[in-house]
A and B are shown apart, each in its own frame.
Chain A
Amino acid sequence: MKFEDLLHRCFRCGYCKLTDDYDDFNCPPHMKYRFESFSPGGRLWLTRAWLGGDVGTSERFEQILYSCTLCANCVKHCIFPFNEDLVNMFIAAREAVVEAGTLPPAVRDYFKALRVHGNPYKEPAEMRGDWARGLSVPTYDRHEYLLYIGCVGSYDERGRKIARAVARVLNQAGVSFGILGPAELCDGNEARAMGETWLFEELAKKNMALFQARGVKKIVALDPHAYNAFTKEYRKLGADWEVYHYTQILAEKIDVLRPLLKVYPTAVAYHDPCYLGRHNGIYEAPRQILAALPGITLAEMDANRGNALCCGGGGGNFFTDILGGGKDSSARIRIAQAREAGADVLAVCCPQCAKMLDDAGKAENPEKRLEIVDIAELIVRCLRKEETP
């Protein structure tokens, strides 16, 4: 197994489970299950035991491996010099499980759907661009940017709404962009996160060939998960495009948008998506947008930026739900944190976070005092009127 030589160096001291100032536990599976086996250290020790034959393959072991959301809270807070590789170790352990051929059914089904249908929703490729129906969104043809939507934005109902909002706002900001529509492929970030590195590489190579054939130089990603794959993993395979998350582009274009905006008085808490924040260090662009929206006051949660609590959807859990819900799920705790901060709106900029928090809100926030709204959707609400591009 890759990184096997690091496993024994974990002392299980537990800093990895906390925030910077030790305000609270911040590791989703540990918060949910509470057993030490579900902490980052427990997972590393069990992986070592599994490789050494002291622990056999079991449903529980796989649950412990796959309930991790790869949120990188441990990377940020572990005090040892190997902290940068913690998520890599967890992915390597999953690779080893994939190689051993014993997978949790939900993970197996995800891989199968991706292989057979090209997306985890088992929907036809022709439907990938359906989210854009009725909008003025051209097929990519040497535009400045390729707007890459990804599987969630293409097929999930909530994700599609966000994709539409992003496209509308990019249009208002005068950004030159096009989409691939039915030709778009899965970015593979979640396949890699779940240990199917080979499938990921296959998808990455196909995407790289496609982008090259279309002459893509700059990509705007809707989904931070895709942003992560393109900026980090594709680069290792030779990709050299400029990659942006849509909030980075909109933060740059905020002065173009400003005259179009009306006052929308509301208190907004911002949820940092793990793949944008901890994984890629983008904390300010979304906040710059929110700060520029007239009438909006930022109600920052205590757990923000590098201390943000994951929505629970990372590491493939958005699709597999191995972490699971319930009152101790991180998504529900996150809703409670936003309410405690005095927010009316919990702003997100990741379709996976949006869906996870929406679902959690139904249980944690039944009276709907807190709305989950993507930043692009919030901008749309602030538009005086939409200009036709």
Chain B
Amino acid sequence: MDIYESLCDITGSDYVSRQQEEQYIYSRDSGAQPPRRVDFVVMPGSVEEVQRILILANREGISVTPLGGGFTLSALVVPQKGGIVMDMKRMDRILEVNEISRYALIEAGVSQAALRSYLKKHHPRLQHSTPEAPPTVTVTGNALIQGHGHLTPRYGLNSDMVNGMEVVLATGEICKLGSAAVTGSWYTRGPIPDLPGLFIGWFGTTGVVTKLSLKLYPRPQYRNVVVFSSDDVDAIPEVIFELTQLDLLEDFFLITQEKPDWMNHIFYVVILSAHFKEELAMKKRIYREVAGKIGGGKTVKPVDDLHPALRTRFLDVPPKAAVAADFRKGGGFQYSAAILPFNKVPAAWRKGIEIAHAHGMIASYVHQVLTCHSIMFGFNYSFNRADEADIQAARQAVDESNRFTLDIGGMIWKGEAEAQRLVMKKMDPNTARLIEKIKRAMDPKGVMNPGNWELPQ
């Protein structure tokens, strides 16, 4: 049997394609990165099928790229060296919600929408941290790329919310990681060696995650938003510090847009939630008081006449952030995501505007404060997908932003292939070699999403 026939034998021919249509769609994502070759697309329906596909890939020496929602915008799950794209979306069962221990055990293809909807219906007192991405993206994919969600300022990155996982190693072994490895229950990640770390942030180079245990959190009944505006870029670190010092917020992001003019300010958007109305009113009052004292009362001012559409935009979970892709009627959007310490934000703020202008774009920012320690600073670039020069400009703008981020001591989140090369080049050589050693140990034949996290030549 050839590879195609073998894949059909594993999943059934309905879920395997080597046709030009699937090759085309899976060879690119919605960002600005150029397409890359795909040979086969396969959609396994069970962990055993995943296992058989990886054993086949090892035997045949063909690459495998696992794909969740496929919405990184940086083409992380578009193969760099051809081969098989393993689309996980058929594995879409919510296997367990343990209400008392507050975790959900899900298969890798469960979307943000599915989990959110399921919890709303069956466990309305619980929620999971939902990213700004469209609701079709997968919970597992987001956790594995160290994504963040609407609860991140309070509870940490979504990858920190992983209790455990079931993985299939490149060589075909199935392992449970976290407490389930010992107890059969998925309620905690430790206290044993932190093996989920071998799969988080590795972009599928170490194995395929087939199940995820994710922490759930109380879902307060009331939510509201308070917004402050300012034009003082240099004051941003202080404002973030003071507002996060309170430790009472649910979500916190900074937003601006050069057009229309009324949006051309720094907006600090603080999402508050509470179990009681009085609690919510108290939080709102406290934030206004604290913000009012920053910089002697002159740095920020409250926005009392927030447009209802903006209120919806801020409070929606997830927000419809994807509309940014049509700002220029071009259907394209990519961003360079910098993880920065707060004190680097003013420089990045100015540089991002400079880069956008240099490429004929207007600047538009949404930055999420991750915890009270760092911020995801998004250098956002929308582009016209029908205009190759515009796509090139977006790629160039992203590249310039990435280089700037590294220059000022920032980190690049879910960077595209070139960004990874920049990071690996700048990385401490012993650390880079450790990554290489781990990859080799986990994936001796180098079939797992090769091209990612590679040592610089």
B453: which A residues are within 8 A, CB to CB?
none
Q: Which A residues between 210 and 225 are near B, CB-CB below 8 angstroms?
A: none
A34: which B residues are within 8 A, CB to CB?
15, 43, 87, 89-90
Interface-facing stretch out of A42-50, A147-155, A231-239: A42-50
Question: A24 contacts the other chain (Cβ, under 8 Å)?
Answer: yes
Complex Cα distance A21/B135, Å? 10
Complex Cα distance A49/B17, Å? 18
Judging by beta carbons under 8 Å apart, are A22 and B89 in contact?
no
A18: which B residues are within 8 A, CB to CB?
113, 135-136
Q: Which of A8, A11, A64 interacts with B386 by CB under 8 Å?
A: A8
Judging by beta carbons under 8 Å apart, are B331 and A8 in contact?
yes
Question: B41 contacts the other chain (Cβ, under 8 Å)?
Answer: yes
Give the distance to chain B from A348, nearest Cβ to Cβ, in Å. 26
Complex Cα distance A11/B321, Å? 12
Q: Which A residues between 11 and 39 are near B, CB-CB below 8 angstroms?
A: 11-15, 17-18, 21-24, 33-37
Closest to B17 in A: A35
Question: A80 contacts the other chain (Cβ, under 8 Å)?
Answer: yes
Interface-facing stretch out of B24-32, B264-272, B369-377: B24-32
A58: which B residues are within 8 A, CB to CB?
19-21
1/0 contact string of B7-23 vs chain A (CB within 8 Å): 00000001101011110
Give the distance to chain A from B110, nearest Cβ to Cβ, in Å. 12
Question: A54 contacts the other chain (Cβ, under 8 Å)?
Answer: yes
Closest to A21 in B: B117
Question: A142 contacts the other chain (Cβ, under 8 Å)?
Answer: no
Q: Which of A14, A33, A54, A80 interacts with B24 by CB under 8 Å?
A: A54
Q: Which of B25, B30, B136, B137 interacts with A35 by CB under 8 Å?
A: B25
A79: which B residues are within 8 A, CB to CB?
320, 322-323
1/0 contact string of B73-102 vs chain A (CB within 8 Å): 000000000000001011000000000000
Question: A113 contacts the other chain (Cβ, under 8 Å)?
Answer: no
1/0 contact string of B259-301 vs chain A (CB within 8 Å): 0000000000000000000000000000000000000000000
A81: which B residues are within 8 A, CB to CB?
326
1/0 contact string of B308-352 vs chain A (CB within 8 Å): 000000000000101101100111110000000000000000000
Contact of A11 with B136 at beta-carbon distance under 8 Å, contacts A49-B24, A81-B326 already known:
no
Judging by beta carbons under 8 Å apart, are A60 and B19 in contact?
yes
Give the distance to chain A from B391, nearest Cβ to Cβ, in Å. 10
Complex Cα distance A229/B25, Å? 33
A60: which B residues are within 8 A, CB to CB?
19-21
Question: B196 contacts the other chain (Cβ, under 8 Å)?
Answer: no
Q: How many residues of B contact A (CB 8 A)?
A: 42
Question: A56 contacts the other chain (Cβ, under 8 Å)?
Answer: yes
Question: A385 contacts the other chain (Cβ, under 8 Å)?
Answer: no
Q: Which B residues between 131 and 181 are near A, CB-CB below 8 angstroms?
A: 134-137
Contact of A80 with B26 at beta-carbon distance under 8 Å, contacts A22-B116, A35-B87 already known:
no
Contact of A37 with B25 at beta-carbon distance under 8 Å, contacts A55-B20, A80-B323 already known:
yes
Closest to B323 in A: A79
A45: which B residues are within 8 A, CB to CB?
24-25
Q: Which of A9, A54, A55 interacts with B385 by CB under 8 Å?
A: A9
Judging by beta carbons under 8 Å apart, are A15 and B135 in contact?
yes
Judging by beta carbons under 8 Å apart, are B117 and A24 in contact?
yes
- A-B pairs with beta carbons under 8 Å apart, 29 shown: A8-B330, A8-B331, A8-B386, A9-B326, A10-B331, A15-B134, A15-B135, A18-B135, A18-B136, A21-B120, A22-B112, A22-B135, A24-B117, A34-B87, A34-B90, A36-B87, A37-B25, A46-B24, A46-B25, A49-B24, A54-B24, A55-B21, A56-B20, A64-B21, A79-B320, A79-B323, A80-B323, A80-B326, A82-B326
Which residues of A come within 8 Å of B, CB atoms? 8-15, 17-18, 21-24, 33-37, 42, 45-46, 49, 54-56, 58, 60-61, 64, 79-82
What 16 additional pairs, Cβ within 8 angstroms, besides A13-B136, A81-B326? A8-B331, A11-B333, A15-B322, A18-B135, A22-B114, A22-B116, A23-B117, A35-B43, A36-B25, A36-B70, A37-B21, A46-B21, A55-B24, A58-B21, A60-B21, A82-B326
Q: What are the 3 closest A-B residue pairs judged by CB atoms, nearest first?
A: A14-B136, A22-B113, A11-B325
